[in-house]
């Protein structure tokens, strides 16, 4: 069996999300990766991809059409390469989620999104109902197209391999959509839903002023800032900070809950985080029941100390 993994190649580097998708493919036989990009970035991206461990070959497709991850040319390319593969995977990122279902339809295959476990070559586990249930599905399609829930697979290292690079000629197709511009929020804080790290505050922050001590910590971690509903209702922070059942549902790699008691409504919004840290003065707070690491004490001492310790 052979799998093809579509990589997101941003600025010539291979992000962690794509490396998680490669990890997911590991049980599915030999792995080729597909790197696409504009003429000016493709070389660097291909070189980065070639260093990934466990890759049979790197296939590249360059051109203006691929410079911005547009779904139409990507899907057409995947369809063209599909006869050579049993499984085609991508990380469940904006690009993977846009291109793979489109390609799957062209191949008359039912896409399987957000795969969090691969039982065997045709059996997959994925979340439904916002993660409140997990289904195990068996695909009867001759070929499987999957997007990978990246938090469920530890990424392969960025280096260690030396795979050959092979350019493919993309199929020609009429331009259907055109990239105009991108607005990156990189200078500001990341969006809550997209953040890899979230620092979140609750009633224990005591005031809008108190809440501000989370900012240096978030800066240090490149984290988004969230809040519990109590903190929002008390006016410490605006509404769109709210994490929880009625706010945003998040699943970062690291969630640091400061002064949050852990009402179930809040837990419903962040329980899928990979690692949860709780800082609370009440050692009976329910948040400790879900936290991987807990610190009992005054957050007004702990948070600055933690910030300082991350120097």
Partner 1 sequence: MTQRDIMEFDIVIVGGGPAGLAAAIRLKQLLPDESVCLVEKGSEIGAHIVSGAVIEPRALDELLPDWADRDAPLTTRVTREEMYFLTQRKAFRIPALARVMPHLANHGNFVVSLGDVCRWLAAQAEAMGVEIYPGFAAADVLIENGRVAGIVTGDMGVTRDGAQGPNFAPGMELRGRYTLFAEGCRGSLTKRVMAHFNLRAGVDPQTYGLGIKEVWEIPAERHEPGLVLHSFGWPMDDRTYGGAWLYHFGRNLVSYGFVTGLDYANPWLSPYDEMQRTKLHPVFRPYFEGGRRLIYGARALSEGGLQSLPRLTFPGGALVGDAAGFLNTPKIKGTHTAMKSGMLAAEAVAAAYTADAPEPDTFTDRLQASWLHQELSAARNIRPAFARWGTMRGALYAGIDAAILRGRAPWTLHFRHADHETLRPAAACPPPVYPKPDGTVTFDKLSSVFLSNTNHAEDQPIHLRLRDPALWKPVNWDIYRAPEIRYCPAGVYEVADPDSTPRLTINAQNCVHCKTCDIKDPPQNIDWYTPEGGGGPNYPGGM
Partner 2 sequence: MKILVPIKRVVDYNVKVRVRRDGTGVETAGVKMSMNPFDEIAVEEALRLREKGAADDIVVVSVGVPQAADTLRTALAMGADRAILVQSEESPEPLAVAKILKTLVEREKPDLVILGKQAIDDDMNATGQMLAGLLDWPQATFASRVEKTDDGLTVTREVDGGSETLSLTLPAIVTADLRLNEPRYASLPNIMKAKKKPLDTIAAADLGIDLTRRLTMLSMAEPPTRKAGVKLGSVAELVEKLRNEAKVI
Q: Which residues contribute to the site for partner 1 (CB under 8 A)?
A: 203, 229-230, 233-234, 239, 245-246, 263-265, 268, 286
108 binds, among partner 2, partner 1, none (CB under 5 to 8 A by kind): partner 2
Distance set, CA 254 to CA 30, 151, 222, 224 (Å): 32, 11, 11, 11
Instruction: Give me 228's structure tokens.
Output: 């519990």
Looking at 98, 165, 189, 203, which residue binds partner 2 (CB under 8 A)? 98
Task: Look up tokens 């461990």; give the residue.
Answer: 53
103 binds, among partner 1, partner 2, none (CB under 5 to 8 A by kind): partner 2
* Nearest residue (CB) to partner 1, 240 versus 292: 240
**56 is annotated as contributing to ligand binding:** no
230 binds, among partner 1, partner 2, none (CB under 5 to 8 A by kind): partner 1
Contacts of 51 (CB under 8 A, 6+ apart): 158, 159, 160, 161, 162
Instruction: Tell me how far, at minimum, the Cβ of 136 lies from partner 2, in Å.
Output: 4
Residue 25's H or E segment, with its range, is: helix 16-25
Looking at 179, 207, 233, 282, which residue binds partner 2 (CB under 8 A)? 179
| 137-166 binders of partner 2 (CB under 8 A) | 137-141
**47 is annotated as contributing to ligand binding:** no
Q: Does position 71 bind partner 2 by CB under 8 A? A: yes
Rounded distance between C-alpha atoms, residue 178 and residue 64, angstroms: 10
**280 is annotated as contributing to ligand binding:** yes
**181 is annotated as contributing to ligand binding:** no
Q: Does position 289 bind partner 2 by CB under 8 A? A: yes
Residue 147's DSSP bridge partners are 90
Going by their DSSP bridges, the two strands 123-128 and 144-148 should be labelled as unpaired
CB 100 within 8 A of CB 78: yes
265 binds, among partner 2, partner 1, none (CB under 5 to 8 A by kind): partner 1
Looking at 27, 84, 136, 208, which residue binds partner 2 (CB under 8 A)? 136
Instruction: Give me 34's structure tokens.
Output: 């597909």
Q: What SS3 class is residue 271?
A: coil
């Amino acid at each position: 069996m052979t799998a093809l993994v579509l990589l997101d190649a941003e600025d010539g580097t291979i992000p962690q999300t794509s490396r998680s998708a490669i990890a997911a493919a590991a049980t599915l036989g030999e792995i080729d990766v597909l790197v696409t990009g504009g003429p000016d970035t493709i070389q660097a991206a291909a070189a980065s991809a070639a260093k990934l461990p466990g890759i049979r070959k790197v296939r590249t497709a360059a051109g203006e059409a691929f410079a911005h991850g547009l779904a139409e040319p990507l899907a057409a390319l995947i369809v063209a390469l599909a006869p050579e593969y049993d499984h085609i995977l991508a990380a469940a990122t904006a690009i993977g989620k846009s291109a793979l279902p489109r390609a799957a339809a062209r191949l008359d295959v039912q896409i399987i999104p957000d795969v969090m476990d691969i039982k065997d070559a045709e059996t997959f586990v994925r979340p439904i109902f916002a993660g409140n249930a997990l289904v195990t599905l068996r695909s009867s399609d001759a070929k499987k197209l999957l997007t990978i829930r990246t938090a469920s697979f530890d990424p392969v290292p960025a280096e260690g391999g030396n795979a050959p690079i092979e350019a493919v000629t993309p199929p020609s197709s009429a331009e259907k959509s055109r990239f105009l511009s991108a607005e990156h929020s990189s200078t500001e804080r990341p969006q809550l839903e997209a953040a890899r790290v979230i620092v979140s505050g609750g009633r224990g922050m005591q005031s809008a002023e108190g809440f501000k001590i989370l900012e240096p910590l978030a800066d240090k971690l490149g984290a988004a800032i969230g809040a519990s509903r109590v903190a929002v209702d008390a006016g410490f922070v605006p509404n769109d900070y709210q994490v929880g059942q009625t706010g945003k549902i998040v699943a970062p790699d690291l969630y640091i809950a400061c002064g949050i008691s852990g009402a179930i409504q809040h837990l419903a919004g962040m329980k899928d985080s990979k690692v949860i840290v709780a800082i609370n003065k009440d050692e009976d707070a329910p948040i400790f029941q879900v936290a991987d690491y807990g610190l009992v004490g005054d957050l007004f001492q702990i948070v600055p100390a933690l910030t300082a310790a991350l120097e």
